[in-house]
Amino acid sequence: MKSVLSIQSHVVFGCAGNSAAVFPMRRLGMDVWPINTVQFSNHTQYAQGWQGMAMPAGHISALVEGLGNIEVLGGCDAVLSGYLGSAEQGDEILTVVKAVKAANPAAIYFCDPVMGHPEKGCIVAPGVTRFLTEQALPVADMMAPNLLELETLCDTQLADLDQTRAAAHQLLARGVKLVLVKHLGRAAQDSSRFEMLLATPQGDYLIARPLYDFARQPVGVGDLISALMLANLLAGHDAVSAFERTNASVDAVLQETWRQQAYELQLIAAQDAFALPEVLARAIKLP
């Protein structure tokens, strides 16, 4: 059994951050150790607002120190980071990654560089974006930005697939071994589909799934994508197969969420699609 230390946000109600990532990874057979960067009543895109707090400085370090004291860090196969409550938490996460890799040199760091989207109501603390671009990027083994986050990481504007591929390869050139662009958006080849790009030193791959006509777009899809990609890789699937399985599982969740006319992702109802996804769409290798 593979183990994942998942450091990201937590919501009491609904699905975002660890609340979108932990159950799917466990359903895939991972032993997940969640650490919450914030604890909110609900995700931040509800019009009524939310309640809660970011975890204080030192909280992450103290928890991981406790894990070190019981000598389990050597059994950690991956660190997954997502939404941060403060830039200081980023420094703690890098210390955690260093400690985990010292205990298990084969461990990987999968960074989901959540930078926020103020227009949608997703806001990150000051300094987080700078931390991700200047400190997390040089350390990450794998990254899963969306298009806006990739633009920020590469300090460029992206209008099409070729430009997006070139930007992803800038990250590969800096030492990242795998880049998953979670939503191509305006850079997609087909704007009527939800397209994702996988960039690796061995080649680039494009995959798509349907777009569903939601009254309100569900939150947490990016967190789910990153978690499933990492879990599928740890389960032994090669990068392309993990990409295809992730796409199929996410599509099953979105389809069920749309069928129920729900705002929150229907992870429980669609849970069989995590362990046994029905892969209908195949990744296309780009020339």
* Binding-site residue set for ATP: 112, 144, 149, 182
Structure tokens at 268: 């429980």
**Binding-site residues for substrate, please?**
9, 44-45, 223
The span from the CA of 281 to the CA of 157, in Å, is 29
The type of residue at 2 is: K
Q: Residues 185, 186, 188, 191: is their CA dihedral positive or negative?
A: positive
Q: Distance between terminal CA atoms of the chain?
A: 37
| CA torsion, ordered 231, 236, 240, 245, to nearest 10 deg | -50
Strands 31-40 and 3-11: parallel
Residue positions in the annotated binding site?
Answer: 9, 44-45, 112, 144, 149, 182, 223
Q: Are the C-beta atoms of 2 and 33 separated by less than 8 Å? A: no
Query: Are 125 and 118 a contacting pair, CB within 8 Å?
Result: no
Task: Name the strands in the sheet holding 52-54, side by side, starting at the edge strand that comes first in the sequence.
Answer: 52-54, 31-40, 3-11, 78-81, 108-111, 142-143, 178-181, 193-200, 203-210, 284-285
How many whole angstroms separate alpha carbon 220 and alpha carbon 65? Answer: 29
Six-digit token string for 27? 């359903």
Contact 279, 250 (CB under 8 A): no
CB distance 43 to 10 below 8 Å: no
Contacts of 235 (CB under 8 A, 6+ apart): 2, 28, 29, 30, 242
